[in-house]
Structure 1
């Protein structure tokens, strides 16, 4: 007589949080962020000084010549170390989070279109997680970029010294200055990535190809530039507010106080200070970052 076998229930499936993580997206993001930062840092520095209003320059060319004359070539690269760390880690984390969340929503099927709302949700969640981990680096970068004269140049001797001094004098709160407008700025990345992904998808659908079909270099560059310009036009004011909150030359009683003072003394024009050097900086920056990401993860 054969023994009766109990029905096989199988082992219960365990949720694996790392199931959709692909670390090549982090490597691609770090590579793109570091490369673009090393090439374009002087424009980023000028954008920050325009936004924070310290010191005053007559224009982009005036800012270049003034900084070079007063501070030398090294002056154009003040704050480059935390900028490299911040940009590399931010893009690396962002692309890793974004691809993981996006693939999770798709259920692993990369040919399934998500639509604008889901693209924006994935990008917003990625931006929030990235900012939470990298905000202290951006505070240090902003303050080093704003050391404009001999008196202030000794205040922070470098990235590690600045991190230590800010924590010692202002605590954790000091390292997270500008975090609130930074969180509002998550909408910038969300708009940008939603626009970029939707343009790619629409283009491939127009060609009657799967949406994950790889594009030509010029097509990636064009979609990256257009998506960045749209996002910048919609969300630039938060960057001005964030830079001013992180600037230690001025004191504001929070984000709302900064917004009120900027409006009171400068009106709408104040919220768009530094827009020209910003666009000159971010357009080639995002093109380079997105192209490296697409090529390294193809």
Structure 2
């Protein structure tokens, strides 16, 4: 559903960008195609709309993921009959309805948009990743062209490593925002440890820096790096190999057409 929302608005913004590009071409500006900057803007706008519409879902999901039985008040009751019967009444299972009610009771309707500011900023993650990848790839090809008589071919392994480095850089830059978002969306225990009770994004950043130091913003990043960096590296490698394969086929067909 979340990805569906993103791609729905992405297509809307993309169609608008293409229409603007065609109109500019009619006026003698550009070639009628959507440029890299416009593509990044389209992706960013789609991501922002997606965040605003789906943030309540992630608040509830985060609340359910971070819930523990210890956070529920004990509802154990002792029932004595003939001085020999003892029964314990366990609290009901914690479900979606409980999470929704809990969030609403804490902060009202705006509680479902906790952490939306850092999440909006995190939309820049793919842009940073793409920018780093293109920059590294351009430098590598330039160096390769100078050292190998104009040949700027890049191997699949090099693409894999460049994709991994780009994603690593983007993750290191934006991961603190992910931690802040998770802290804001987790249960705020009234009367509990004030160091973990946050009124908003700035309050969370200030308290984390004061009580946990800079390292607090990178808790659990090892797992995130392994998962996201590996996935991004494989994606970039497959994408470049597919592009290379398509170009080879098109060139081959063009040579056959000329020779025939």
If the length of structure 1 is used for normalisation, what is the TM-score? 0.52
CA distance in 2, matches of 1:226, 1:99: 29
Query: Tell me, what secondary structure is at the counterpart of 2:213?
Result: helix
Query: What's the CA shift string for 1:113-134, capped at 9, x where partnerless?
Result: 612x323312211111000110
CA distance in 1, matches of 2:38, 2:210: 38
Query: Tell me, what secondary structure is at the counterpart of 2:176?
Result: helix
Query: What's the CA shift string for 1:132-188, capped at 9, x where partnerless?
Result: 110011111111111234444958722243224423553211111111111222222
Q: CA deviation at 1:228?
A: 3.0
Q: Between the two structures, name the one with larger relative contact order (CA 8 Å, sep ≥ 6).
A: 1
Q: CA deviation at 1:264?
A: 1.1
Query: Tell me, what secondary structure is at the counterpart of 2:218?
Result: coil
Unaligned runs of 5+ in 2: 23-30, 74-90, 143-155, 189-195, 243-260
Match of 2:176 in 1: 237
1:242 to 1:277, Cα distance in 2 relative to 1, 3 A: same
Asked if structure 2 preserves the Cα contact closer than 8 Å seen for 1:120 and 1:190, the reply is yes
Match of 2:218 in 1: 272
RMSD across aligned positions (CA): 4.1
Alignment of 1:64-143 (within 5 A): 89-107=1-19, 112=33, 114-115=35-36, 117-143=37-63
Identify the match of residue 170 of structure 1 among 89, 93, 107.
107
Residues paired across the two proteins, number: 196
Q: CA deviation at 1:263?
A: 1.0
1:167 to 1:223, Cα distance in 2 relative to 1, 3 A: farther
Alignment of 1:122-201 (within 5 A): 122-152=42-72, 157-192=94-129, 198=134
1:255 aligns with 2:201: yes
1:242 to 1:185, Cα distance in 2 relative to 1, 3 A: same
Asked if structure 2 preserves the Cα contact closer than 8 Å seen for 1:119 and 1:190, the reply is no
Query: Tell me, what secondary structure is at the counterpart of 1:271?
Result: helix
Unaligned runs of 5+ in 1: 1-88, 207-216
CA distance in 2, matches of 1:289, 1:161: 38
If the length of structure 2 is used for normalisation, what is the TM-score? 0.58
CA distance in 2, matches of 1:143, 1:155: 16
